[in-house]
A = this chain, B = another copy of it.
Amino acid sequence: MKFSVPKLVRFHHCDPAGIVFYPQFFYLLHEVQEDFLAHIGFPEHKLIAGGTGVPIVDLKTEFLGMCRNGDQLTITLELTRIGGSSMGMQYEILGDTGAVRLRAHGVVVYSEVPHGKAVRIPDELRSALLPYLKTTSPGDT
């Protein structure tokens, strides 16, 4: 199952060339992570208030097409892996026509904040994540 959410390209995302300034894509991806965690019942602000977070440790991004002020995007998220404390998260940003504009894969680690010590993903969170795990996942390594 993919998590999918519409996002509008805002004026403040765009640069003097009239296109999304690339770090702003990561704001959008982080918004999707927040929307996802809230959707499955584990809002990120409550995790953090409770002393844990999901800092990122690895991120690979392909920028495949430009996005412009006013574009209505769809952003999808699937999990590629749910490990002991880490998760693989695959994002795609689709433009109005359905063409993929950006593809990213991040690895985040369920950790104590602010010191960053990895902790095991609790069973309740794990169960809530499971429906979004790609069935063709390369497996738990």
Contact = CB atoms under 8 A, between A and B. Distances in A.
B58 A16 contact: no
Interface in A6-36: 10-12, 14-19, 21-24, 26-27, 30-31, 34
A48 B116 contact: no
Contacts of A66: 55, 114, 116
Would you call the interface of chain A mostly helix, strand, loop, or mixed? Answer: mixed
Given A15-B11, A16-B15, A26-B23, A58 B61 contact: yes
Given A17-B113, A60-B60, 12 more contacts: A10-B31, A11-B16, A12-B23, A12-B31, A16-B16, A17-B55, A23-B26, A55-B63, A56-B63, A57-B64, A58-B61, A60-B61
28 contacts: A11-B15, A11-B16, A11-B30, A12-B15, A15-B16, A16-B45, A16-B48, A16-B69, A17-B48, A17-B55, A18-B114, A19-B55, A22-B55, A22-B56, A22-B59, A23-B26, A23-B27, A26-B26, A43-B70, A45-B69, A55-B63, A55-B66, A58-B62, A58-B63, A59-B63, A60-B60, A60-B61, A61-B61
